[in-house]
Amino acid sequence: MKYKYTSSQAAKVLRGLNQKRTDLLALEAKSSRFVAALEEDMESIRPPYDFAAVQAEIGALEKKIRALKHAISVFNLTTEVPGTGMTIDEVLVYLPQLAQRCEKLRGMQACLPKERSDASSYNQSNFIEYKIANYDIDAARAAYAAASNELSRVQLALDKANMTNTFEVELED
């Protein structure tokens, strides 16, 4: 059966399928083997377990997971995030790069032009040492603001693309 999803919807369905698979594997681990004493009636304590049925159910879930992951991958490779000139998969690489840049620039823009070094981190001497910014701190502030704004803009554009664009995927019931 064909289903139409947004990327956000597909991610939720995928989480659900993965959780069903995890639960089924846990149940299988508990019920596929059991411990009994020789004196016990094994049939009365045997947990219900149908090997063929469980394997078929696991296989069906894994097939759905593969189909859905593939559809999401194709969607990410072919869907452009408006206003970025990049596809979703490129944006998913770009966002961590931007976040790292913001983190670095946040530290740089918070520096003083000249500040006394922490004497405890150096060997004891009679010299007073200073850390001196070797860049324009105002330029770092401007770069931080620009990178932070770009990060927000791209995140919002990605969210919109993931919640509005749809794709179809064939999932057997």
Residue pLDDT, tens place only, 4-43:
999 999 999 999 999 999 999 999 999 999 888 888 888 8
| pTM exceeding 0.85 | no
Label residue 68 exposed, middle or buried (CB < 10 Å: 0-12, 13-18, 19+): buried
Residue 130, helix vs strand vs coil: strand
Q: Is 90 exceeded by the pLDDT of residue 122?
A: no
Contact assessment for residue 72 and residue 11, using Cβ atoms and an 8 Å cutoff: yes
Task: List phi, psi (to 5°) of 33.
Answer: -140, 150
Label residue 12 exposed, middle or buried (CB < 10 Å: 0-12, 13-18, 19+): exposed
In the chain, what is the greatest distance between 2 CA atoms, to the nearest angstrom?
86
At residue 124, the pLDDT reads: 63
The CA radius of gyration of the chain, in Å to the nearest whole number, is 28
